[in-house]
């Protein structure tokens, strides 16, 4: 990927960050129930296949650009940026390991629609 492609991809992520997305990341309690409901994670045991990991690039953009702590870290150069290499690695987890079955959303104790976030 070149810089223009990465910038377009990051801009696309920024465009989908709205109130429901911010609410999702703010309300997730990291309980792990979604992971236990995910067929890909339960079959492989690989934490990279957990539903919350599948939305990690979007979370990083949200955290770095839309939270006070994230903005402060970005200004100090301490934030973990979304890079080409990271997106390339992540692509397998989102496109090849999610059937959009919705089991993760059904078990979420705070009612987050994880499938909506992955989509």
Q: For 30-89, what is each residue's pLDDT tens digit?
A: 899 999 999 999 999 999 899 988 888 878 888 888 888 888 988 898 888 778 887 787
Tell me what the mean pLDDT of segment 93-106 comes to: 88
Structural domain that includes position 51: 3-118
Q: Are 119 and 60 in contact (CB under 8 A)?
A: no
CATH number of the domain bearing residue 13: 1.10.1060
**In total, how many domains does the chain have?**
1
- CB half-sphere exposure, 26, CA atoms < 13 A: 10
- Residues 20 and 2: their CA atoms lie apart, in Å, by 31
Global pTM value: 0.71
């Amino acid at each position: 990927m070149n810089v223009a492609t990465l910038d377009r991809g990051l801009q696309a992520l920024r465009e989908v960050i709205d109130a429901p997305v911010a609410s999702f990341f703010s309300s997730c309690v990291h309980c792990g129930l979604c992971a236990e409901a995910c067929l890909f994670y339960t079959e492989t045991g690989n934490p990279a296949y957990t539903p919350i990991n599948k939305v990690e690039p979007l979370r990083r953009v949200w955290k770095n650009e839309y939270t006070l702590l994230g903005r402060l870290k970005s200004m100090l150069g301490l934030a973990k940026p979304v890079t080409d290499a990271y997106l390339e690695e992540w692509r397998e987890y989102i496109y090849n390991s999610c059937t959009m079955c919705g089991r993760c959303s059904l078990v979420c104790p705070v009612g987050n629609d994880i499938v909506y976030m992955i989509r």
